[in-house]
Amino acid sequence: MGVRIEFEAKVYRWDARTESWFFLDVPADISSDLRELPAPPRGFGSLRVEARIGGTTWRTSIFPGRETYALPLKRAVRDAERLAEGEAATVHLHVLEL
């Protein structure tokens, strides 16, 4: 069944020099809990997830940072949900079976 969580986060750009990489951070307390899950070795310690914002659902991976996991936010999702840099979004995240 996997783990299901919901949180709110602000959209941010990874690097101001590029237009293509946008993310949302999973809150530190939730990220801490996610780090405790038994996980097979994957690229960069990532976890496979299904994410939903508004009416848009997609599958991707979340990637660990120092304190939080980062959720990549595709342009198609930003466009569909009319999200811009600095705006908050409510994220429904389903960590897929490990």
CA distance 13 to 67: 18
Percent of the chain scoring above 90 in pLDDT: 68
Domains and CATH numbers, the chain: 3-95 (2.40.30.100)
Cα distances from 46 to residues 3, 16, 22, 31, in angstroms, run 15, 24, 17, 12
Choose between 24 and 36: higher pLDDT.
24
Mean pLDDT, the chain, rounded, equals 89
Please name which of 3, 17, 9, 6 lies closest in space to residue 72, comparing C-alpha atoms.
Answer: 9
Query: At residue 52, what are phi and psi to the nearest 5 degrees?
Result: -140, 130
Percent of the chain scoring above 70 in pLDDT: 90
Residues 14-36, mean pLDDT to the nearest whole number: 86
Element (DSSP H or E) covering residue 79: helix 75-80
pTM (predicted TM-score): 0.86
Strands, E assignment, the chain = 3-10, 12-13, 22-25, 47-53, 56-64, 69-72, 88-95
Q: Does the pLDDT at position 82 exceed 60?
A: yes
